[in-house]
Structure 1
């Protein structure tokens, strides 16, 4: 199979589309060390910096640092910010962790967990009242996806489509062969499926669509690992589940490999020791979607590497 390079960016250092959002020094006084934390782009309906405020407050109080946060314009920009020294630590996609390790520029500081589960899922869903009953029925149709580098919202849906016999062509960086693709974010992909007639299916993380999928349609592997299973089918309109992926290791917290500041060990310890009560504020408008961080390494993402290999993709220099 001819391999296709992706995870590329032409953005110059300093033009990464970062949205500044200094959280401020909440604990350590004016002499604390500043840690630059970059966030992956969130859903269109989520303020990711507000989500992360409890975590940032915890890190500041426990590690005695000042957190400055920025939001990257896309997943590739997260790695470029780490590689260029504009960020010390980041939330990132598994594909970014794999390429960061390939480049020798990043380490996995931890793997996010939600209510004890360090795995999550990709869903391909369709509206309940259309004629799509299987992935094979999507040939010639339009499918909405999340960011092109999203593990659960792009790579795994493309892999599932490929395994069903559909030619994914040059996706996710180019055009699919057997269907049309649109890339945005998880929420937009879901809403596009619901509101726009040409779109017949959506590839998203399960977290974006599970509340629209009847619990009876969920396979046992999803019921075992997904903490949101009790909310399945609680929202309208109903979406039918065409396929759920195998379990995917949850996304990593990455750290710049050459970050040798005194604060590094303190931040790592505070991160790995964080309790659910340190991270989740149930009264907040934007609740953080994970409840802890486990130790991990890039080897935990071998299932993602397998999908990348099966799709014939090659992570490229950012």
Structure 2
């Protein structure tokens, strides 16, 4: 590096297939239009470009919100790694959470921005480099919200209703909220692998779920990461429901800062933030330098220039971590009676 000051067999299989989980799951499902260079499918596998000292590595990006240009958002991190190590980063935007795991499985990327669920689902093919930190916290929250004029006052009232949710593998958008709904007495059935008997889920992503709640009268509630809906919820509602959120959440400071106002129904327990991962069989001497650079990144390294008008990166650093840090995610899977099925 350059110097620089079951449940056991009775658990249901959580199928990561196109039939069970929606679009964009087939192999080769990267968005080629977002590729920085190369052939757009991420199959660089450490190929040398430019000079004998520089290696191109593919970094798969995981879409959390449909309205964010994630490649532009992550550019400061790529620039930073390239300044620290003799590598060229080739970013590739996957079409879904599950597509990210598929690309790792087929060896189409060396590094990946993933959801917390991927730390569990892909633990046989990818290693956790570190846990992302936002405003000093390596934990975040899931929220379930409704509109102030709705007839929904508690989670049990969602029986028979339509609920906008995140992607099926999203921890804060779907898996944790599904557990919260189950604990509130609603029958979640085999969801998200199947249809829950007591309500109708509408899977999408965090921003779409929020917007559906705001704009679609048929949607009774939304389940999202706090980063999506907390700005619409007044602080006093968090004060009443969750001291953990007040003490830990990076989103508390700006709670209630945006219109329209939403009504808070439930706040999850703290969830480990999303990891950055490396493909386990990536066997290149430069890997150690790349991972060290990622763990040493500082907040100022992740900032865009003054002329940038897009979304800033949501995290301010990366702390060392391992799959063991994501045991709470496995607990959620256990409680829902789900497990991830490996793709062939």
TM-score range, shorter chain: over 0.9
Unpaired runs of 5+ residues, structure 1, are: none
Query: Please, which moves more after superposition, 139-148 or 168-177?
Result: 168-177
Q: CA deviation at 1:178?
A: 0.4
Relative to structure 1, the CA distance from residue 7 to residue 97 in structure 2 (aligned partners, 3 Å threshold; closer, same or farther) is farther
Aligned to 2:254: 231
Displacement of 1:227 after TM fit?
1.6
Q: Please, what is the CA RMSD of the aligned residues?
A: 1.7
What SS does structure 2 have at the residue aligned with 1:231? coil
> Which string of whole-angstrom CA distances, capped at 9 and with x for unpartnered residues, describes residues 285-317 of structure 1?
220010100000000011111011000101111
Name the residue aligned to 2:303: 280
Distance (Å, rounded) in 1 between the aligned partners of 2:281 and 2:255:
43
For residues 173 and 17 of structure 1, do their structure 2 counterparts lie closer, same or farther at Cα, with a shift above 3 Å needed? farther
Distance 1:22 1:202 in 2: 32
Q: Structure 2 residue aligned with 1:142, among 132, 137, 162?
A: 162
Q: Quote the Cα distance in structure 2 between the aligned partners of 1:84 and 1:69.
A: 17
Alpha-carbon separation, structure 2, partners of 1:52 and 1:282 = 13
TM-score scaled by length of structure 2 = 0.87
Q: Does 1:312 align with 2:302?
A: no
* Secondary structure, counterpart of 2:122 in structure 1: helix
1:22 positional shift: 3.9
Q: Tell me if the contact between 2:26 and 2:99 (Cα under 8 Å) persists in the aligned partners.
A: no
Residue 57 (1) aligns with residue 79 (2): yes
1:5 aligns with one of 10, 13, 16: 13
Q: Distance in 2 between matches of 1:133 and 1:42?
A: 28
Q: Distance in 2 between matches of 1:19 and 1:127?
A: 38
**Which residue number corresponds to residue 112 of structure 1?**
132
Partner of 2:263: 240
Partner of 1:91: 113
Superposition deviation, residue 42 in structure 1:
3.4
Structure 1 residues 7, 292: CA separation in 2 closer, same or farther (over 3 Å shift)?
farther
TM-score in terms of structure 1 length: 0.94
Evaluate the alpha carbon distance shift between residue 97 and residue 20 of structure 1 in structure 2; reply closer, same or farther with a 3 A threshold: farther
Q: Indicate whether 1:19 and 2:29 are aligned.
A: no
Moved more, 156-165 or 35-44: 35-44
**SS, match of residue 161 in structure 1:** helix
- Distance in 1, Cα, partners of 2:75 & 2:49: 18
Deviation of 1:239 after TM superposition, in Å, equals 0.6
Whole-angstrom CA distance in 2 between matches of 1:150 and 1:317: 17
Identify which of 193, 214, 221 aligns with 2:244. 221
What pairs up with 1:153-168 in 2 under 5 angstroms? 153-168=173-188
Shift of 1:174: 1.8
Partner of 2:201: 181
How many equivalent pairs are there? 313
Tell me the SS of whatever aligns to 2:34: strand
* Contact 1:117–1:227 (8 Å) recurs in 2: yes
> Quick check: 1:128 aligned with 2:142?
no
Residue in 1 that maps onto 2:286 = 263
